Amino acid sequence: MSEQRLKTSIAILGAGDVGATVAYTLLQNPICSEVILVDPKKELLEAQVRDLGDATYGGRAATRIRLGTHQEAGQADVVVITAGAKQKPGETRLSLLSRNLHILSSIFTSMSPISPHTILLLVANPVDILTYFARKLSGLPESQVLGTGTSLDSARLRGILAQKAEVSPSSIDAYVLGEHGDSQFVAWSNASIGSTPLRLALSAKLSDEFKADIESHTRGAAGAIIAAKGCTAYGIGNVAASICKYILFDSRTVRPLSFYQPELGCCLSMPAVIGRKGILRAMPMQLDEDERKLLEDCAEGLRAVIDSAEKELKADNELSHALERHT
Ligand SMILES: NC(=O)C1=CN([C@@H]2O[C@H](COP(=O)(O)OP(=O)(O)OC[C@H]3O[C@@H](n4cnc5c(N)ncnc54)[C@H](O)[C@@H]3O)[C@@H](O)[C@H]2O)C=CC1
Ligand SMILES: CC(=O)C(=O)O
């Protein structure tokens, strides 16, 4: 067997706040032989690898960390894409689209030829739109291209509901669905504590006002953290590293992730079974009429962004050639 096949590797594109935090989380909870960090900022990349390496010399069996090239990243078992601009205080995730689509396109040119077995995990924003274009730019089967989507929002939802209900977050089963962005919504009709439906568990507390407060807390969480410290990193570090584990361990864990929804014509978050081949299958969910409408509105908004991005791309020779190579 070749040496390459004996190793499991996760490549992280982007060695900024998020990329370094995903790497650190993977080093603290080893699930693969090596983590490869890639970034065009050479000094930053070398410093991050040295600093992260210092966290691995404590005597435990460790995952190795090294810097690498885009070409090497394209052969990894999982490629986590954090490369891209981040929001400034007050900016929306969608405002990053044009800059981050160019970066995404250049990444696929540099990684080519990408291994047909690689699973791509998109983190950079706007994550649903970038997941949609990564499918096209990579040429990989759509089950192998996924975005962290509303996994982070759902973790935030579990956190705030746990405080209100005075139970552990791990006892809350509740999802934020749709866009990892302003049109996201909570699937209240399916939420439970243990196996008790939320409406029974919280009874009188669960008013419209209570739900609106929780939704606004969850939707606004990133903006509030960014306004105070300039980025969010630990929550997404944990979410992305956990998804890598579900993939490499073929754990068949169900999580809300962004992936292509053929009937909606875009990528957005719905629950899916995650395993070694990426999205193994969608997990059907019975939404009520209001939630169904919110899902359709959310998809309509995302499709409009995709349409205008596609028009912009046609006017941009470099990007339109990159997309044509695979469509
Ligand atoms: N999906 C989610 O839930 C979350 C997404 N994010 C997103 O993650 C992205 C990264 O955020 P930060 O790490 O805070 O930003 P950052 O600015 O600290 O790091 C981004 C890094 O990407 C690098 N980069 C640029 N072009 C590259 C290329 N072609 N190949 C490899 N690396 C490249 C830059 O040099 C930079 O070091 C942003 O788009 C942010 O909005 C952040 C938190 C949560
Ligand atoms: C930045 C971002 O997308 C988040 O923390 O949710």
- The CATH number that applies at residue 293 is 3.90.110.10
Q: What letter does residue 115 receive in the DSSP assignment?
A: P
User: 308 CB contacts (<8 Å, ≥6 apart)?
Assistant: none
Q: Give the number of domains in the chain.
A: 2
Indicate if 102 belongs to the active site: no
ipTM: 0.99
Could you tell which of 82, 92, 226 is best to mutate to test the pocket of ligand 2, judged by most ligand atoms within 8 Å of the CB? 226
Distance 177 CA to ligand 2 centre (A): 15
- One domain for residues 78 and 179: no
Tell me the per-residue pLDDT of 124-163, one tens digit each, with 9 for 90 and over. 999 999 999 999 999 999 999 999 999 999 999 999 999 9
Q: Are residues 155 and 249 in the same domain?
A: yes
139 in a domain, yes or no?
yes
pLDDT reading at 25 higher than 60: yes
Q: Which atom of ligand 2 is nearest to 222's Cα?
A: 5
Instruction: Check which CATH number belongs to the domain holding 12 and give it.
Output: 3.40.50.720
Is 128 among the domain residues?
Answer: yes
Same domain, 165 and 296: yes
Q: Answer yes or no: are the C-beta atoms of 181 and 128 closer than 8 Å.
A: yes
Q: Please state at what angle helix 234-248 crosses helix 151-165, rounded to 10 degrees.
A: 110
Q: Do 156 and 136 belong to one domain?
A: no
Dump pLDDT digits (tens) for 179-220.
999 999 999 999 999 999 999 999 888 999 999 999 999 999
Residue 321 forms part of a structural domain: no
Domain-located, residue 317: no
Task: Assess if residue 30 is contained within a domain.
Answer: yes
CB atoms within 10 A of CB 117: 12
Q: Are 227 and 89 in contact (CB under 8 A)?
A: yes
In this structure, are 35 and 135 located in the same domain? yes
Query: Among 147, 165, 183, where does a domain finish?
Result: 147
Is 327 contained in some domain?
no
Residue 323 placed within a domain: no
Of the residues 118, 147, 176, the one at which a domain ends: 147
pLDDT for residue 61: 63
Of 9-23, 56-70, 219-233, 285-299, the poorest mean pLDDT is in: 56-70
My answer on whether 108 and 23 are in the same domain is: yes
Nearest CA to ligand 1 atom 10: 82
Token pair, residue 238, equals 């944990």
Peptide bond connecting 126 to the previous residue in cis, omega within 30 degrees of 0: yes
Distance from C-alpha of 201 to C-alpha of 206, rounded to nearest angstrom: 9
**How high is the pLDDT of residue 327?**
60
Enclosing domain of residue 181: 151-304
| CB neighbour class for 318 (10 Å; exposed up to 12, middle 13-18, buried from 19) | exposed
CA angle 167, 253, 246 (to 5 degrees): 110
